[in-house]
Amino acid sequence: MDTAGVPTDLESALAALDAHQPLLLLGLRETQWLDAKGGPYQLANPKSVEELAKDVAAFANGGGGLIVIGIATRPERDEEVLDRIVEVDPAAVNLDQIRKLIRQWITPAPRGVRVGWSGGDGERVVFIDIPAQSVDTLFVVPPPVGKAGSSRTDTVAVPMRDGDGTHWLPRTEIQQLLSAGVRASGMPTAKALAELVRQAVSEAGPDGGLRVGQGLPDREREMRVAYGQLAGEGLGRPADEAWAQGAAACQDLHHERDGEPGWVLCLVAGRPAVAVAASVWQGIVEAGRHAPGPDPLAAIGFPRPAEDTDVPWVIAAGSRSVDVDGGSWGAGRLTCSGRGVWRWQPLPRFSLNRGRSAENWTAGQTPALRLRAVVNLPWSGAGTLEINRPRRTQLESQLPYSAVAGAVTILSRRRGAELPAARWERGPFGNSARSVSYSCTIAGPDGGPALKASAMLALPTTMESTVVACSDVLIENPQAWAAVLGRGRDTQLGFDEVQAVLLAAWEAAAELLPDLVGDPAGLSWAAPPTTELRMTCEQPAGNSVLPSLDTVVDLAPLGMNNGGTKSLMAVTITAAPAMERAERRSLLREALVHMAHEFGYVDAEVVLL
């Protein structure tokens, strides 16, 4: 281990967790600011809830600290040393519930508490970050009672952090603190106490419960207005104090009818307030659970209406689709399956962002033209996937009849020759339990390659956390291809042929190759999936300069070029990999127009392609 990165204080420990390196914490000792738990709090057990509240409140009273769940300790010289990671199962921990219980059980609710995940597969832990609080605030919890259902609301206890342990503040010290408060402010008179009670009842509402917006003073008025505008939609009393969730102000609400599932009132600046059924809200949170970082909603974003409006709206429990935006993943849509599982998919968009895998599987190749589709599939838990023999055998039987094989065959058939892409062989790149590589070569008169199609897929490695699928069509040697086609045949591709080849390569990389891992539809995203479509000339001319694309492709349909011809043009599509062919064709044309505009063909239009 690089000891330069070993944490020595609370700040550096938090930095290690935010960088998803919980292993760096091993060897630390439990201290005034650090507590480790070998397993998660069992929140169905009241005693465990009491322990959670006690632990968090103790750090809030003691200047801040960090609780790490999923690291076992060992005793060493009367101290507890963080010894090994005991990975926490994501299904066993509900971060949202932990946040709510902290707010419910600790008075006042500590500010800025973060609850999140750190680490990847095999070393996943949960952390609770309790920042330093105001020095003039004392945090209290209900006193421990020992059994469910007997908690009292008229008494409190004060947990305090002491070294690597937590203890209850003795009654004598609590009395001294109260006396100090009386000396500083004076004993409240009966009249003053009555006024305080009247004010509290007035602010709480007729049922004496929580206020809408309570807990977020700066946004309380805004939340009350939204709540009033949603009157009649089934929203009941607040179930908890409001809280800040990134850019949003949120509050749990009961349903106005007892026994019905509750709501989450959510306000995001710049968009109308929305009341989300609790079950749907949980689905949104779960859909982003596998994103790196402590907050799933920081990746997913928050609900947004499908149409421009400034009117507060409702997402009911029976909803099956929710548009979201504002997170690091960008605009997306969540849909609910018949089994009640919510899945996120990106709404299509285009960019020139190039991924790390753009030039994978190009070593030793210098084709005159490469038409390529690279699909990046950042599935959660992809490290456990494998390519077994039956799936490899199935792929071998499918490749001769695949869309990319058909596209290569048609290139020759349109030029009067029958050169089917029927014989696929393993290689030229590696094949293993974690990768596949197949190619089909149409040879020239001298036996050298004239035209080639290929299909590759690689599972994650230590250097790459994403599954990458790729399909290429290469014009290796235009002269050799022309010789096989017959005298006078033009090997320059029309732009309609380029579209057909890219469409076929995209379909193979997005639909055919991912089946090697089983059922892609059952996997969740850890980041947005992307597809890169690339057109490259890689065979240097005599002066070692790469020729421009218009020497091998007819780019006339794109119009005039204002920036000079290029040897490379590419575009990245952020979209769900699986889709209907008509949708893929339409998206391909939009992407190519976006690419053309970015590379200087400002007159390109979809209707011209």
Q: Are 528 and 380 in contact (CB under 8 A)?
A: no
Residues 460 and 530 in one domain: yes
Name, in order, each residue with C-beta under 8 angstroms of 146's C-beta and a sequence gap of 6 or more: 47
| One domain for residues 566 and 475 | yes
- Predicted confidence (pLDDT) per residue in 377-421, tens digit: 999 888 888 899 999 999 999 999 999 999 999 999 999 999 999
Instruction: Give CA–CA dist 64/95, Å, rounded.
Output: 19
pLDDT in tens, 244-287: 888 899 999 999 888 788 999 999 988 999 999 998 998 898 88
Q: Do 330 and 210 lie in a common domain?
A: yes
Residue ending a domain, among 297, 314, 346, is: 346
Mean pLDDT of 602-608: 85
Q: Are residues 29 and 122 in the same domain?
A: yes
Q: Are 61 and 158 in contact (CB under 8 A)?
A: yes
- Which of the two residues, 542 and 129, has the higher pLDDT score? 129
Give the number of other CB atoms < 10 A from CB of residue 437. 19
To the nearest whole percent, how much of the chain has pLDDT over 90?
57
Same domain, 293 and 159: no
Give me the mean pLDDT over the 174-183 stretch: 69
Same domain, 107 and 227: no
- Residue (of 457, 420, 471) closest to 442 by Cα position: 420
Specify if 7 maps to a domain. Answer: yes
Q: Select from 346, 368, 385 the last residue of a domain.
A: 346
Q: What is the arithmetic mean of pLDDT over 185-214? A: 56
User: Residue 535 pLDDT more than 80?
Assistant: yes
Question: Same domain, yes or no, for 418 and 375?
Answer: yes
Same domain, 361 and 274: no
State mean pLDDT over 571-581: 96
Query: 368 with 230, same domain?
Result: no
pLDDT of residue 570 exceeding 60, the answer is yes
Q: How would you classify the pairing of strands 65-69 and 34-37?
A: parallel
3-state class of 576 per DSSP?
coil
Res. 152: pLDDT tops 60: no
Residue range 125-137, pLDDT digits in tens:
999 999 988 777 8
Question: Alpha helix locations (H) across 375-418?
Answer: 389-398, 403-413
Between the two ends of the chain, the Cα-to-Cα distance in Å is 56
Q: Quick one: 171 and 227 in the same domain? A: no
Q: What is each CA distance from 294 to 18, 60, 116, 127, 587, in whole angstroms?
A: 8, 20, 3, 8, 34
Q: Which pLDDT band holds residue 544 (cuts at 50, 70, 90)?
A: confident
Average pLDDT, the chain: 87
Q: Do 468 and 356 form a contact (C-beta atoms < 8 A)?
A: no
Task: Choose the final residue of a domain: 346, 378, 396.
Answer: 346
Q: How many domains does the chain have?
A: 3
Cis, peptide link before residue 428, omega less than 30° from 0: yes
Q: Is the pLDDT of residue 572 over 90?
A: yes
Domain of residue 75: give its range: 3-185
pLDDT per position as a tens digit, 421-464: 999 999 999 899 899 999 999 999 999 999 999 999 999 887 77
518 and 591 part of one domain = yes
Of these ranges, 127-131, 295-299, 309-313, 339-343, the one predicted with the greatest mean pLDDT is 127-131
Question: 192 in a domain, yes or no?
Answer: no
